[in-house]
Chain A
């Protein structure tokens, strides 16, 4: 951040943060940037709640016998951890915070297409979250975040309906966010901002929006049917009346597998920005990265059956789903190869966002490759419902999505807050998170392969060493997450003022002051260059 010195203490300029004051001006705002801040507060709170439950799980698993919690309580702990993290943190995190803030800025628009709907979707998100929290406080749910029938419809004595309604409402929030992004990207691009000049972050969110629009309604109707079955005793998933529990699994995973890509695609978009910005080089294979986002969105709807290899699905369906699941690896690998090719011969700066980007690439690769193990029917039957699965999807979701989210938050924090964060502390925390993460989840691959099943509060003594390692890693990871929380708050008050473009990056969001004015740009920008055009900026092309 050598350019920080350039920032003169200018006279107070009006920007989106100081344009209005007071609680009302925030809770009734229609400014996409302020709504992004509201979301930032929301997802941070739910992340903290989910994190506390993760800590309780890891404490129980420190010792082999189930000595800290009863098995019933433990069921409620991991369910709450999953519900909070997936529906109220992972799915909204990057789109609703970074996407909300950046998409209009990146395409040169004054706001999202539907600002009031944007605010509505925040309120829906909070309402859904509060309902789910109400259920937790009153005793929680014990079904696992997957709500498999008939346990969830007939036998569970937890607050299934309240939680389901919370998820239903949060789902609407997700649909409305996706709809807003889709329409905004289609209709609000600045003059000259053609589709092939869109930042890859925007392409990733476009693909995400497609999944949100096509997938979320299916989970909505599914949880509604589960609720109806519990309350009115309908029999759609009840075998006693001829219903089929496997139909529930089909409907559930038709959304919930694509939902994994709602969580990872935006993070991939962030990484595309970080890699070019920090390597100061045009992205390698722009069209392939953009196209791979769309390909992932399409393929994501064709692979749900790989969650059901042992659920009584036909062998032939299993084979087809296995092959289709392998296909998803192609667009994912295209991204990884193109990111690394972008770094090749770039002038790479190893500042905090780059540390997160490299962390993402490494951890996502491990998570993705173990995903291929799981897509192979034979191997999946061996490790199904073991800690191998837990380790795999935490490598994707924590190692992928949260790394991308934190990297993006650091990269755009100067733009969001107008202040620079302390670089040294940020690097320390990035390393702590990376090391803590691996110590937490790598032993779980081994545990799973050796046969430790998921969702049990007790385990045989021979698994203790690896579990102690995992719990120790989780403690380190927890500390790693708290450091940024402290210094981001600190920087809002004491940080150095940020210049408009602290990274010397391309992209419209860096051409407006930090923090941006309420209308984003003093005059609507006209785009004349390709995305990530670092060459013409620095020197004439070498030919």
Chain B
């Protein structure tokens, strides 16, 4: 018997039972679609995380007081805060770094009738480079403004849009806390990153925030950017050594501050999303398996239903292997079609979802090939048992079957 005829015979049987064929493949369609969609979405999420982390600033280290470990005692809060001297020391004593201090105050900001509570960041001109966040218009702080702690501010895009609507914000006066503050610049748009709207912020000189908003000389965090790629490890060590010295931490005692590399955060997040991808993929794979069992179920019913047909075929000279091939090819064609449809649905579904969730869409040929070949494999494995049952029928029993 010619292979092409076997294939045609299987196709005819499938077309003759359109609804049943569709229901049979539905399991495979859903299985392949969910595997492909889950893995694609997972990879899109991973990509989205990496991209948002690189947008925070490359080669960026966060230095904060306290300990990074959360134990039974919670976060250590009695750690002494930094001040500007610490930031200056890092800038001056560690090689190849750019330092921006971060003094945060969350205060209400008023312009005209608009009123919002916004995190205000006291920093210096290094911020733009360190945090990878430039100006879209206006100017940076002048040395005089830095030294005097002048009431000037640079606002993020969200503010520029929401509070000023379409009015020009440059040169206007904004009330920040109890201070009237002149807008000298607007930051470029940055979007969401790690759950924060980076455009909803106000930058002011360090001293302005310290004196006018919080009334303390504390610096809550220090952002350090490595000027040369691949030096963050060395810099992290240098900063730790320097700060231990400055904070008089005895040998063997734990740090009461921590230096965190954004790369580490990125790695941790990436690992999390990767684990999630694997988990989701595994769950989806189970549904693919269930789909395969569905095929086997229907093929078994089909063999019973078509026992008489099998008897006729055996009587007119079909060999056992001809019958085996007929049913096997039928189930392979079904599962292959299901795999193809599932692939299309899975890819378009994950593309749509990525679009809606504002994630970059990552196409992954590997999982497409895997999902598709798995569905074909399922056709072989789960089609074999019913096909063998058909092939082993005794011709006369099959013919007498009602």
A binds B: no
Q: List residues of chain B with CB under 8 Å of any chain A CB.
A: none
Q: List residues of chain A with CB under 8 Å of any chain B CB.
A: none
